[in-house]
Amino acid sequence: MNLSDLLAYDNVSEECELRSPFGFMAFHGGDLEEMTDIIASRAAERAGASYYGIQLPDNLEWHIPSHKVTADQSPQLASFLSHVNIVVTVHGFGRAGFFTSLLLGGRNRQLATHLGSSLREHLPAYTIIDDIDGIPSNLRGLHQDNPVNVVEHAGVQLELPPRVRGSSPLWWDWEGPGLTPHTERLIDALVHCATTWRH
């Protein structure tokens, strides 16, 4: 399956909001990598940044590798990638030994350092891994065709464990209002990163 096939599937939705040249993406959103689209879209709205996301319906778990999410398959994605010059892509992952770790891959290592500092300030209970050598090789987001790397200044692939997304057993009794406290602080960190980036 490729991106154009996925976008043609029933109840798959695509969203694009063009604001500043700083962008947030979440193209594995909805039921696939839970909460990633909500986190990215809310951070983008609050920061005045641009946003592109794909939301999969319940029980659809078609994971398209990031390097196959290409602009030639979606006019909205093409519009987004031509508008922004730097991007943070938001992903979800779960792996033993990394349940409290946030991984900052992608080719813009200066932005990774900047985002890492913001995340450490807002989420002191988590381990922030912005040293590329400390990230598992298949989660580094370095492929040249990965959307995080195709814009002018490239960007950061942010991998989030379930706990910080509010989708782990830790939050079984959370009734709100709003998102879990860790998720809210994560969004605060992303907004701070985007609004203080000066390069």
List the chain pLDDT tens, one digit each, 199 residues: 789 999 999 999 999 999 999 999 999 999 889 999 999 999 999 999 999 999 999 888 889 999 999 999 999 999 999 999 999 999 999 998 899 999 999 999 999 999 999 999 999 999 999 999 999 999 999 999 999 999 999 999 999 999 999 887 778 787 878 899 999 999 999 999 999 998 7
Q: Does domain 3-196 have CATH number 3.40.50.300?
A: no
pTM for the model stands at 0.95
Q: What is the largest CA-CA distance in the chain?
A: 43
